[in-house]
Amino acid sequence: MILEAVKADITKIDYVDAIVNAANESLLGGGGVDGAVHRAAGSKLLEECRTLHGCPTGEAKITKGYDLPVGYVIHTVGPIWHGGSWDEERLLSSCYYNSLKIAADRGFTSVAFPSISTGVYGYPVEKAAKTAVSTVLDFASKEPGSVEKVIWACFDDRTLAAYQAEIDLQKGTI
């Protein structure tokens, strides 16, 4: 499993099978990456999202990508950070696991994630990166040979540094 962190606007990435959207439980759009994904995909994305009737925190659902350069969007709903004793770590981990499960079930080999929950939802980015990378590596050990490449599209330097540091640490590449 190749893990990479890049500085990028996830809506511009065109070299993966699916991008993941950091949505809210309504799946009807919002700000941040959710707003960017819906703006770039166009109104047909919202039309399809309406048919999904929401998504509980920690779970994921897939739609087409429409006007996005990628074919599919996996919408997942991260936990809101409440200090760390409200099951946030497990819920964030299940966002990554469930998104990768959908990708693997569809035979996708590459997925790009944003830094789920670390914006509006306030999850500390270093803690989120640790959970994100360990969950992806755990998935790779349990479902070998499915998804081959995971990218984190980081919107700022601090987020990029956090994910790069966790990848180096957990992949033992330092």
Q: Which residues bind ligand APR (CB under 6 A)?
A: 9-11, 22-24, 30-36, 78, 114-121, 153, 155-156, 159
Report how far residue 93's alpha carbon sits from residue 127's, in angstroms, rounded to the nearest whole number.
Answer: 11
From the CB of 145, what's the least distance to ligand APR, in Å? Answer: 28
Task: Output 132 or 146, the one with its CB closest to ligand APR.
Answer: 132
The active-site residue out of 9, 17, 34, 168 is 34
Neighbours of 85 (CB within 10 A): 7
Nearer to ligand APR, 30 or 71 (CB): 30
Integer CA distances (angstroms), 111 to 85, 88, 129, in order: 29, 23, 16
CA angle 93, 96, 98 (to 5 degrees): 100
Q: Write down the least CB distance from residue 140 to ligand APR, Å.
A: 23
If the CB atoms of residues 135 and 146 are measured against ligand APR, the closer one turns out to be 135
Active site residue 34: yes
* Pick 116 or 146: Cβ nearer ligand APR: 116
CA gap 149, 10 in Å, rounded: 15
CB of 144 to ligand APR, least distance (A): 28
How far apart, in whole angstroms, are the C-alpha atoms of residue 128 and residue 166?
10
The CA distance from 38 to 42, in Å, is 6
Catalytic residues: 34
